[in-house]
Amino acid sequence: MTPIRLPVVIATMALALAACASDETSSPTARASAPAAPLAGTVAEQTAEVTATVEKVDLATRRVTLRGPEGRVVTIKAGPEVKNLAQVKKGDLVKVAYYESLAYEVKKPGTAEPGASVTDVAARAKPGERPAGAALSQVTVTTTIQEIDKSAPSVTLVTAEGDPITLKVRDRAKLDRVAVGDLVEITYSEGLAVAVTPAE
């Protein structure tokens, strides 16, 4: 993942705030006896798996032709990061698993700082093993609640660069659990795993 994802994450904050405003809470008795948990959760999450069959491997050009489950044929170029390409043969199965999620958490001042960070983690097959790999990327954007309008209802966030973002909130009662100066931390995660299994 690259920093180009940052505008996407900021744009989805509207979805995050709307979701945190519609979460279910515990009973009035439970709320009176224990401090309310911080607003946090997963706004959206999805997974997908695809299995394709290797139709052709051209080691000279590192191009691999795959046929998908619906018969669609595509040709991709395996970059230098793909090890052990010579082990891939016609008829082998390439399994791809994809994961994506968007989570949020509201934090009190002093427990986090406004800003953005990108984390990438990757793993590849060792020499001699069947080709495989996995990668996980995370973009975290933290903004500050600058204004709360319970009549709208809405909140205005300000990024570390000073850009304001005003978002509508579905349940104004939830705004009682946040205050000006609190921080909203949004984390976008994306994962991809690829494995090759020999033809039966």
Q: Which residue has the higher pLDDT, 88 or 18?
A: 88
Q: Which residue has the tokens 């891939």?
A: 88
| pLDDT above 90: residue 144 | yes
pLDDT of residue 10: 43
Residue type (1 letter), 12 = T
pLDDT band at 2 (very low <50, low <70, confident <90, very high): very low
Helix (H/G/I), strand (E/B), else coil: 5:
helix
Which two tokens mark 22?
């519609």
pLDDT of residue 56: 95
Q: What is the rounded average pLDDT for all residues in the chain?
A: 81
* 52: DSSP letter: E
Task: Name 107's Cβ contacts closer than 8 Å, sequence gap at least 6.
Answer: 38, 142, 182, 183, 184, 185
Q: Which residue has the higher pLDDT, 6 or 189?
A: 189
Span 16-59, pLDDT tens digits? 444 443 343 334 444 444 455 667 778 789 999 999 999 999 99
Helix (H/G/I), strand (E/B), else coil: 31:
helix
Which two tokens mark 98?
């994809």
pLDDT of residue 189: 95
pLDDT of residue 25: 39
Write out the H or E segment, with its range, that includes residue 8: helix 6-11
Task: Say what the pTM is.
Answer: 0.66
Radius of gyration of the chain (CA): 23
**How far is residue 140's CA from residue 10's CA, in Å, rounded to a whole number?**
10
| pLDDT above 60: residue 5 | no
Q: Which residue has the higher pLDDT, 9 or 122?
A: 122
pLDDT band at 15 (very low <50, low <70, confident <90, very high): very low
pLDDT of residue 131: 79
DSSP notation for 124-180: EPPTTSPPEEEEEEEEEEEEEEEEEETTTTEEEEE-TT--EEEEE-S-GGGGGG--T
Return the closest-CA partner of residue 78 out of 121, 125, 136, 138: 125
**How far is residue 200's CA from residue 102's CA, in Å, rounded to a whole number?**
38
Would you kindly state where each structural domain of the chain is located, as residue ranges? Answer: 3-48+93-197
> 28-37, 44-53, 84-93, 163-172: lowest mean pLDDT where?
28-37
